[in-house]
Amino acid sequence: MTASPENIVVRFAPSPTGRLHVGNARAALFNWLFAKKSGGRFMLRMDDTDDERSTPEFAAGIEADMAWLGLSHDIFARQSERLARYEAAATQLKQAGLLYPCYESAMELDRKRKRQMARGLPPVYDRAALALSDEDRAKLEAEGRKPHWRFRLEQVHTAFDDLIQGHVEVDGASLSDPVLIREDGRFLYTLPSVVDDIDFGISHVIRGSDHITNTGVQIQLIRALGATPPVYAHYSLLNGPEGRPLSKRDDAASFSLQALREAGYEPMALNALLARLGTPDPVEPVLALAALAETFDIARLGRADIRFDPADLARVNAAILHLTPYEAAQPRLAALGCDLGPDFWAAVRPNLALFAEVAGWARVVRGPVEPVIEDAGFAAAAAAALPPEPWDEATWGLWTGAVKAATGAKGKALFMPLRLALTGRPHGPELKNLLPLIGRRRAETRLRGLTD
């Protein structure tokens, strides 16, 4: 297939059986960036054929998570609305003799596997069901058994050129014929996914390396349905900070997007980190998805497993805030009721780890502040030395020079008591920037030990 923008279509295909975690976000992001970079289209597909575990609430939650990340889609589909297409494909495969009914129970299959392993054989399905006669089948069905349906794999090596892994071969002989339809009639993941990839003209399937074996099966299935397989790219999986795969437990705790959002992280911090993990400089603040897309190169993603460390996220988050211009921050400042203007934002942003901390600094500027006064005499001398307004960023230097001359204090002994009196805190933004925002009246009140 030629890769002209019109026929580049990629998809992110979550199952709405939970909310998104950072591993899913990475899949969504890679596909989205690939589409933007190549001028193609991005599809969001809900893999919701498992109607026991999928819920509309999780699906809505996933859409909310995607909107929070800023990953908008061009095409949307729900598999639960496309069952007729999967039935048609199943019929086509049955007619070709490639989808066959099997009647073994889970327990029988388990016993077979154990016997094979005891004999040192790989636990591959023995295709006993292929030997059943019409009579055998009728008998089993009369006993009340319902078939599940397996796809008859060709026992050959299926090869593909992966954009990340390079040349890959999957040996069909080492795999069990996959079950496509369960005995209750529900489709498992494989057939709907393949039918959709064909019907929506998916040109590139970008997903985790845990799907490499599936790809061998899916290529066979796509060909059996008379279509051409897409190009594949399997990226390495994301591990947690200890280098272990992200588990369901981790997801629920701190790696769900919902949890990260509630913790106050910027979505762009997550996007920037996830796009660059595994490259030489992962912790780099990038303020817009478009900028990430420009430099995104799928072939640069390495094959080694990589780690997601919340400490890296915190670092990118802070770095992004420190670069965020007032215009971008303004609506959010206003929403928090602390839009004190561009000088305020410029003064406090270098001190922010999380955006919400801005409210604390707005209070330091506007009051009330409970001043911390350790030496009332020193503070009174400092109050007396406050120059008249108007104030600007030169005021701090003038004033502290005067306080130094009046009291003999210098260095930390000069600056710390002033900071504690003016802000009530031992650390914070540079006082030369804060002082003009606090203003003379409040500064004097605080230096006198009074809450303004």
Q: What is the maximum span of the chain, computed from C-alpha positions, in angstroms?
A: 108
Backbone angles phi, psi at 238, to 5 degrees: -90, 125
Min dist. Cβ of residue 256 to ligand GLU (A): 15
Phi, psi (degrees; rounded to nearest 5) at 160: -150, 155
Interacting positions 194-213 with ligand GLU (CB under 6 A):
207, 211
Which residue is it, tokens 């996220």? 313
Site for ligand GLU in 211-230 (CB under 6 A): 211
Report the alpha-carbon distance of residue 202 to residue 194 in Å, rounded.
10
Which tokens hold the place of 340?
Answer: 């004190």
| CB nearer to ligand GLU: pick between 192 and 424 | 192
Q: Tell me if 13 contacts ligand GLU by CB under 6 A.
A: yes
**Residue found by looking up tokens 């006669």 in the block:** 133
Q: For residues 13 and 140, which CB has a smaller minimum distance to ligand GLU in the complex? A: 13
Which one, of 69, 8, 12, lies nearest residue 39 by Cα? 8
Give the interface segment with ligand GLU, choosing from 7-15, 114-122, 287-295, 441-449 (CB under 6 A).
7-15
Of 13 and 286, the one with the shorter C-beta distance to ligand GLU is: 13
Closer CB to ligand GLU, 23 or 240, in the complex:
23
Query: Beta-carbon neighbour count of residue 145 at 10 Å?
Result: 15
| All residues at 6 or more sequence positions from 127 whose CB lies less than 8 Å from its CB, including other chains | 152, 177
What are the tokens at 125? 């399905």
What single letter denotes the amino acid at residue 323? Answer: L
Binding window for ligand GLU (CB under 6 A); candidates: 12-20, 228-236, 295-303, 444-452: 12-20
DSSP character string of 266-284: -HHHHHHHHHHTTSS----
Closer residue to ligand GLU in complex, CB, 193/445 = 193
Quick one: 47 or 309, whose CB is closer to ligand GLU? 47
| Total Cβ atoms within 10 A of residue 284 | 17
Nearer to ligand GLU, 78 or 211 (CB): 211
19 near ligand GLU, rule: CB under 6 A? no
Q: Which of 10, 15, 149, 251: binder of ligand GLU (CB under 6 A)?
A: 15
Question: Can residue 289 be called a binding residue for ligand GLU (CB under 6 A)?
Answer: no
Closest CA to 68 of 238, 292, 257: 257
Could you tell me if 234 and 207 are in contact, meaning their C-beta atoms sit under 8 angstroms apart?
yes
Stretch that binds ligand GLU, among 9-17, 138-146, 326-334, 435-443 (CB under 6 A): 9-17
User: CA of 8: how far to CAs of 219, 243, 352, in Å?
Assistant: 18, 34, 40
Report how far apart, in Å, the C-alpha atoms of 228 and of each of 19, 115, 197 are: 33, 38, 10
Residue whose CB is less far from ligand GLU, 14 or 436: 14
User: How many residues sit close enough to ligand GLU to count as binding (CB under 6 A)?
Assistant: 8
Which residue of this chain has its Cβ atom nearest to ligand GLU in the complex? 47
Cα distances (angstroms) measured from residue 250 to each of 14, 24, 282, 390: 18, 13, 22, 54
Whichever of 232 and 378 has its CB closer to ligand GLU, that residue is 232
- Which residue is listed with tokens 């059943």? 132
Q: With CB under 6 A as the contact rule, which of the stretches 8-16, 127-135, 341-349, 391-399 interacts with ligand GLU?
A: 8-16
Applying CB under 6 A, among 38, 158, 193, 324 the residue interacting with ligand GLU is 193
**Rounded least distance, CB 200 to ligand GLU, Å:** 12
CB of 66 to ligand GLU, least distance (A): 14
Nearest distance from C-beta of residue 214 to ligand GLU, angstroms: 7
Give the nearer residue to ligand GLU in terms of CB position, either 14 or 371.
14
Shortest spacing between CB 205 and ligand GLU, in angstroms: 6
Write down the least CB distance from residue 422 to ligand GLU, Å.
54
Does 28 bind ligand GLU (CB under 6 A)? Our answer is no
- Reported in sequence order, the residue ranges of 7-98 that DSSP labels E, i.e. its strands, are 9-12, 41-46, 75-78
Among residues 8, 10, 14, 289, which is the contact residue for ligand GLU, using CB under 6 A?
Answer: 14
Count CA atoms within 13 Å of residue 302 on its CB side: 11
By the rule CB under 6 A, 47 interacts with ligand GLU: yes
Instruction: Considering the complex, state which of residue 162 and residue 339 has its C-beta at the smaller distance from ligand GLU.
Output: 162
* Cα 85–chain centre separation: 31
- Of 121, 207, 105, which Cα lies nearest the Cα of 164? 207
Q: How far is the CB of 13 from ligand GLU (least distance, A)?
A: 4
Write out the residues near ligand GLU by the rule CB under 6 A: 13-15, 47, 189, 193, 207, 211
